[in-house]
Homo-oligomer: A and B are copies of this chain.
Amino acid sequence: MIGEQIKAELISIGDELLIGQTINTNAAWLGEQLNAIGIRVNRTVVISDDKNEIVAALNEASERSHIIIMTGGLGPTKDDITKHTLCGYFNTDLVINDEALKRITDFFERRGLPMLEVNRQQAAVPAACTVIHNYKGTACGMWFERGDRVFISMPGVPYEMKGMMEEEVFGKLAAFYNRPVIRHRTILTTGVGESFLANELAEWEKMLEEKKIALAYLPSPGMVKLRMSSYGEVGRDVESDFKLCEAELHRMVGEHIYGYDKDTLQEIVGVQLRALDGTLAVAESCTGGTLARMLTSVPGASDYLIGGVIAYNNDIKTDLLSVDNELIKRHNVVSSQVAEAMAIGARRRFNSDWAIATTGVAGPSGGTETHPVGLIYVAVAGPDSCKSLELRLGKRRESNMDMASFAGLNLLRKEILGQKAHL
């Protein structure tokens, strides 16, 4: 099969996806993982728990793609019909798989839970398949082969599916279809819009074209990601081409680049703080815990994050953060002065090297003429200085909380960089 692009198609099964009760995160994860082992997802379809829909989707997918991965439709309850449909499709019958039955029995025994007949039935699988065992739940995965096509059926619960794919399926697929790897490199920018960036980078895009590197601009709130992709090429050349293009991009718009690939600002800031042996505290008003949650989502954050205060009420700002009540009266609680005083107060209260503070009108209501919804100040206090930033965002509460937290982290990143440059 070498030389041919191996294509995968994902079939996600479930009315909850079609009516939007559940977001299809499984497809995104599978796309990313398959891509990394050189298998290109050329289509994802979402269909309902319906026999005819499943059969039609399987027929269409197997005409277009080598690998068909179904997720969902394998729970213990009655809305699940996938297994019976697969028996019909592969002209086989359900049989109890002894190993699966033992695994399911153990699963319930270990948890001290009663095992029900519906759970026992989860050990029944089509005789024609190879069982993919599930050590985090009760539904079995199934692997079918038909010529050079592979059909895989997986449970829809994300962490069960992911565990099974990682432990068994990706390895099996990589062995079945031996492929050159698709490579991506993503450069993360903040502070400039997509069209401005595209205009600045017209020359750079020509350089990419010559090197047969595809480029995509991926805007999301507060940032634009630039993704370079090279399909089907082998090994080192692509990596060094990426490096050349990256260096050129740095020369052109370096001040807007904050990271690469899956970097997050909270990880970058964590790396910076570790390198300085520095500590951090947060004082959040309008972001209400968002900044703390972003920081603490990074494993090991307790090495540099001391703690924080959610100062939702003004009394907390004066009591816990020593913000002068007069300052609040004079400048309004939504002001650069109060943001800076909060950061300085948090730094002192937590005895940390750095502190980030936020204050603003998150919305969707509560704004005034002088202090409209979306007006937010973020401040960073450090060993030598205190700096603040005014943001004028939109009306959407959660997005404002996220973007202000992002801006606070980016301000800290720049302040640490500036301090290092200064030493």
A62 at the interface (CB under 8 A from B): no
Chain A residues bordering chain B, tally (CB within 8 A) = 103
A4-32 at interface with B (beta carbon < 8 Å): 15-25, 27-32
Tell which of B21, B302, B396 touches A313, judged by Cβ atoms closer than 8 Å. Answer: B302
Q: Mark A296-318, 1 if CB is under 8 A from B, else 0.
A: 11010110011111111101100
Give the chain B neighbours of A297 by CB distance below 8 A: 288, 397-398, 401
A126 at the interface (CB under 8 A from B): no
Q: A28-B17, A41-B18, A116-B199 are in contact. Are A312 and B305 (CB under 8 A)?
A: yes
Q: Mark A394-422, 1 if CB is under 8 A from B, else 0.
A: 10111101000000000000000000000
Tell which of B21, B215, B289 touches A186, judged by Cβ atoms closer than 8 Å. Answer: B21
A117-148 at interface with B (beta carbon < 8 Å): 118-119, 138
The interface centre, meaning the residue of A42, A53, A288, A308 with most chain B CB atoms within 10 A of its CB, is A288
A267 at the interface (CB under 8 A from B): no
A296 contacts B401, CB within 8 Å?
yes
Q: A157-B219, A310-B292 are in contact. Are A44 and B17 (CB under 8 A)?
A: yes
Tell which of B218, B310, B312 touches A310, judged by Cβ atoms closer than 8 Å. Answer: B310
Label chain A's interface by main secondary structure: mixed
Chain B min CB distance to A287 (Å): 8
A48 contacts B42, CB within 8 Å?
yes
Chain B min CB distance to A192 (Å): 10
A171 at the interface (CB under 8 A from B): no
Q: A23-B24, A320-B320 are in contact. Are A313 and B308 (CB under 8 A)?
A: no
| Apart from A289-B292, A297-B401, A309-B310: 18 A-B pairs, beta carbons within 8 A | A16-B216, A20-B29, A20-B31, A21-B218, A42-B48, A76-B195, A77-B194, A77-B195, A116-B196, A116-B198, A118-B198, A118-B199, A282-B310, A288-B297, A289-B289, A296-B401, A305-B312, A307-B312
Residues of A within 8 A of B (CB): 15-25, 27-33, 35, 40-49, 53, 60, 75-79, 113-114, 116, 118-119, 138, 157, 159, 184, 186, 193-196, 198-199, 205, 214-220, 225, 227, 229, 282, 284, 287-297, 299, 301-302, 305-313, 315-316, 320, 349-350, 362-365, 394, 396-399, 401
